[in-house]
Amino acid sequence: MAQQPAGSTRLPRRRSPTARVLGLAGELLVTLGVVLALFVAYSLWWTDLLADRQADQDGRRLRGSWTVPGDAAPAGLDAGGIGFLHVPAMGRGYSVLIKLGTDPAVLNQGVAGVYTQPFGPAMPWDPSGNFALAAHRDGHGARFHDLDAVSKGDPIVVETRDHWYVYRVDAVLDRTTEDDVGVVAPVPAKAGYTKPGRYITLTTCTPVYTSEYRTAVWGSLVRVDPVDAKRTLPGELR
């Protein structure tokens, strides 16, 4: 085979137009994949980190305000929080700060928010009503990520400065539309309730990583325990 003369230079082979297009498309796909990965990391990990930090600070601030004499409800509301939600079925030691409102500015703080519309908020200490809460399923703390682990008969406990409000889950709705406002009505009929009572509702998006539908958990109050000096947990949380 004839050898190329010394000192000569082999010219690079020209890429065909098709190869150049495919190469450019590959580079764009790689770039898109990196951007999507960064977006997912921001949406889940980074927003969780920020929400956890803020919720922890706000929770400690609220508990600090409880050392000031006064009525439990006004003190909690003035401090930017109402109390804490405890749901053992969603994990050992599960505790979430509760604030008023369900708009993103509230829920993105990594809290459970109280519905203020279309029916107006009903607090645990009210003689009747539906204490309806919402929280994110994913990102921004994902406080209700494991709401699907809650089932009929499970306890739900709301902690305020002076009382433990102990509820028992009566019904679960796996899926409904985001327009189904009856889920948070004062007497949610889909839960099987037919008359006013002291109810609690937990709602979030479903399926996981989507916001296409809503899921709901309903419970009714079974008792109210006073908080003692040591803040001894009720039996459901021990």
Within 10 A of 58 (CB to CB), how many other CB atoms are there? Answer: 18
- Any idea which residues carry the catalytic annotation? 205
Query: Could you give the CA distance from residue 64 to residue 29 in angstroms, rounded to a whole number?
Result: 51
CB proximity list for 209: less than 8 A, separation 6 or greater: 137, 138
Which of 221, 218, 220 has the alpha carbon at shortest distance from 150?
218
Which of 180, 87, 179 has the alpha carbon at shortest distance from 135?
87
130, 200 Cβ separation under 8 angstroms: yes
Query: Could you give the CA distance from residue 219 to residue 126 in angstroms, rounded to a whole number?
Result: 15
Two tokens at 220? Answer: 């009714």
CB proximity list for 157: less than 8 A, separation 6 or greater: 85, 86, 87, 164, 165, 166, 167, 234, 236, 237
**How far apart, in Å, do the first and last CA atoms of the chain sit?**
87
